[in-house]
Structure 1
């Protein structure tokens, strides 16, 4: 049986085939409604038995993806956030309020690092930070703008401030570097303060995992962090293994 997993976020679509040993090579596709069908046609085999989808995108994008998949897929299964999955339990009293991408990333992180506390940091449109203790209990999390979104909002409000460019410096001597340093620095400070808060809460410093489109930029300045590019897809594969026998 051929199966694929799809992670439709706010800024991009990632997908990969499912193999017996986990997620295969990840493909990033255009993130516009009009492009999805053509991009999928070029990237996917003509027929797929089952597609497992996790989406936090708007309704129009989600519908565009589902319509494109329906033309070549026998079955489509939409992942949802659950109060518990095995020994992993979320902190939210209302599971639907926790984004399925955060749920799946935490599930994958906990499975990958059994017996360890993990701080799961997603860097996309938003910066999300979630703490899971060694027993699989989600302690809670934080949400802030990602560095990319900070830059875009500043540029929108003050067009003279460039939305891209610049290098990190402790004390920058031009505007591009100052923006890059300030926006990246704000995100780094939140991750570091969260790791320290986790140490105080749990009595041990958690393992820090960074994933998402902006993960590389932050991971370079977090020496202890593990960069996990496909963490949401890994969690989706775990979810799919149970869904396939339900």
Structure 2
């Protein structure tokens, strides 16, 4: 059976084949404007395959567009959803549907990697931080604006403040650098505080797994971080292989 994995976010659609060995194949990242992505998707996909496994945090309209586009490529589609317990992972939320499926799958991917406790940090439109202990228990998390969204929000309220540019320094002597340093620094502080708290609770320093399109903005200041750009797709692969519906 040939399967493809699809992670539909607020700004990008990522897709990859699922190998016979259960590993995620080469990833195609397709930017979208919240409305269209069909041209990029058609170029990435084979004409036919057997099954599409989809995770989506995008709007219902965009999700329907993806399902419609995939209908001409494959006869079977499944949509991942958050489960309270799944393959040794248990989440902290009392109401599973309130935990975004991207966070759930990233936790599932982190758990499947093994290696003990982990702090899972996703940097996209939002900055998400989730604490996973060595027994596969999700101990809760945090959500904040990403540095990119902070810059956009400032620019929207004060147009003279640019929404991009500048470099990270500890104390800036230029407005562009001060904006970059402040917004990135706020995200770093949240990650570092979360890591400190998780370390105290675990009695050991968890792995810091970094994923999402905005991760590069934090990576240089987090030398201990492990780049995990396919973490959501890795969790989706576990979902697909388990035959979840």
Q: Name the TM-score class by shorter chain.
A: over 0.9
CA distance in 2, matches of 1:30, 1:69: 17
1:113, CA displacement in angstroms?
A: 2.3
Q: Does 1:204 align with 2:204?
A: yes
CA distance in 2, matches of 1:86, 1:28: 28
Unaligned runs of 5+ in 2: none
* 1:10-89 equivalence runs, <5 A: 10-21=10-21, 22-32=23-33, 35-89=36-90
Unaligned runs of 5+ in 1: none
Q: Secondary structure at the match of 2:50?
A: strand
Distance of aligned partners of 1:33 and 1:125 in 2 relative to their CA distance in 1, 3 Å threshold = closer
Give the TM-score taking structure 2 as reference length: 0.96
Q: Is the 8 A contact 1:166 1:177 kept in 2?
A: yes
1:41, CA displacement in angstroms?
A: 1.3
Q: Is the 8 A contact 2:35 2:62 kept in 1?
A: no
Q: Secondary structure at the match of 1:32?
A: coil
Q: Secondary structure at the match of 2:36?
A: helix
Q: Is the 8 A contact 1:36 1:68 kept in 2?
A: no
Q: Which residue of 2 aligns with 1:174?
A: 174
Q: Which residue of 1 aligns with 2:111?
A: 110
Q: Which residue of 2 aligns with 1:160?
A: 160
Q: Which residue of 2 aligns with 1:148?
A: 148
* 1:101-140 equivalence runs, <5 A: 101-114=102-115, 116-140=116-140
CA distance in 1, matches of 2:230, 2:184: 22
CA distance in 2, matches of 1:109, 1:194: 17
Q: Is the 8 A contact 1:121 1:130 kept in 2?
A: yes
Q: Is the 8 A contact 2:121 2:130 kept in 1?
A: yes
Deviation string 1:37-87 (CA, Å, 9 cap, x unpaired) is 222211111112100000000111111111111121110100010011121
1:102, CA displacement in angstroms?
A: 0.3
Deviation string 1:109-131 (CA, Å, 9 cap, x unpaired) is 111124x1100000000000000
- How many residues matched? 244
CA distance in 1, matches of 2:9, 2:42: 19
Q: Is the 8 A contact 2:10 2:34 kept in 1?
A: no
CA RMSD of aligned residues (A): 1.2
Runs of 4+ more than 3 Å apart? 32-35
Deviation string 1:87-115 (CA, Å, 9 cap, x unpaired) is 1100001000000000000111111124x
Give the TM-score taking structure 1 as reference length: 0.96
Q: Is the 8 A contact 2:18 2:24 kept in 1?
A: yes
